[in-house]
Copies of this chain bind each other. A is one copy, B any other.
Amino acid sequence: MTAHESERIQSVETAFEILDYLQHNEEAGVTEIADALSVSKSTAHGHLSTMESIGHVVKVDGTYRVGLSFLELGHHARSRYNLYESAKAEADQLAEMTGERCQIMVPEGHHGVYIYQTAGEQAVRTDSHIGSTVDLHCTAVGKCYLANLPEDELEAYLDDVGLAEQTEHTITDREAFRDELETVRQQGYALNREERIIGMRAVGAPIVTDQNDVLGAISVSVPTTRIDDRAAEDELPKQVQRSARVIAIRTTYS
């Protein structure tokens, strides 16, 4: 990782801290933000009015909110991954067929980002949504990605990020994790057995090009109350893998 700590521009950092605060609090006033970030009121005010003049922050009734301009920025960022356009319809179909929640993930800087998510009829609500970043080691999509990584990059990932325990089922042992990835490679799909959230399982498959590049992964999440082992390890993987292949083909020829 580059970016020596010294080379950071403070005012830019606080600007984004403010946006971050606004994101998690819907709306807020100058004083509230200043207190939360331990800066003076005038500083917070300066940042807010600067961002307001650009249009990235909006003031309604005296309180500030993040502007809709980020919608455009986010969509532009996503449009670079032509995976999105080719995967959307297929994900919808998979969600409808299974009735469950389906998501598309791409890797970005040692994390995974859901670039699409769609819910079938019986899908349960989760904490993840479009734009969410998730750890790679405890999700089906993440393991799909890591399993297809060259050895040295995997090593770098494990050194940098590690295998933080999310639930009692999270694989935290390095050797066990390598074994798990080997299994993923052999099966061609990955399982998540309550490794991130108790009560949630998932089946994911990697989306790979002809040149064996992993563009991302697709997965279906199912609550444990609604899944039996046979379906989880037989039918569902087949469906997910089929979708992944369709997406891969569609992505390369577009």
Q: Are A68 and B72 in contact (CB under 8 A)?
A: no
Is A52's CB within 8 Å of the partner chain B? yes
Shortest A34–chain B CB gap in Å is 15
Contacting residues, chain B, for A51 (C-beta < 8 A): 12, 16
Tell whether, in the assembled complex, residue B3 and residue A68 are in contact, meaning their CB atoms are under 8 Å apart: no
CA distance A59 to B111 in the complex (A): 14
Query: Is A175 interfacial (CB 8 A cutoff)?
Result: no
Q: How many Å lie between the Cα of A23 and that of B76 in the bound state?
A: 6
Chain B residues within 8 Å of A129, by CB: 72, 75
Query: Which chain B positions have C-beta within 8 A of A130?
Result: 71-72, 75
A102 within 8 Å of B (CB atoms): no
Q: Which of A42-50, A186-194, A201-209, A242-250 contacts B (4 or more CB under 8 A)?
A: A42-50
**Residues A67 and B71 in contact, CB atoms below 8 Å apart:** no
Kindly state the separation between the CA atoms of A249 and B65 in the bound complex, as whole angstroms: 26
Residues of B within 8 A of A26 (CB): 80
Residues of B within 8 A of A56 (CB): 16
- In the assembled complex, which residues on chain B have CB atoms less than 8 Å from the CB atom of A23? 72-73, 76-77
Chain B residues within an 8 Å CB radius of A72: 23, 74, 129-133
Q: Is A9 an interface residue (CB 8 A)?
A: yes
The verdict on A7 contacting B66 (CB below 8 Å), with A23-B72, A72-B130, A131-B72 known, is no
Chain A residues within 8 Å of B, Cβ to Cβ: 2-3, 7-9, 11-13, 15-16, 19, 23, 26, 45-47, 49-56, 58-59, 65-78, 80, 106, 108-109, 111, 113, 115, 129-133
Interchain residue pairs with CB less than 8 A apart (29): A2-B59, A3-B49, A7-B46, A8-B50, A8-B53, A9-B11, A9-B50, A11-B12, A15-B15, A16-B51, A23-B76, A23-B77, A55-B109, A58-B108, A66-B73, A66-B76, A66-B77, A68-B78, A68-B106, A69-B113, A69-B131, A69-B133, A70-B77, A71-B75, A71-B130, A72-B132, A72-B133, A73-B74, A75-B130
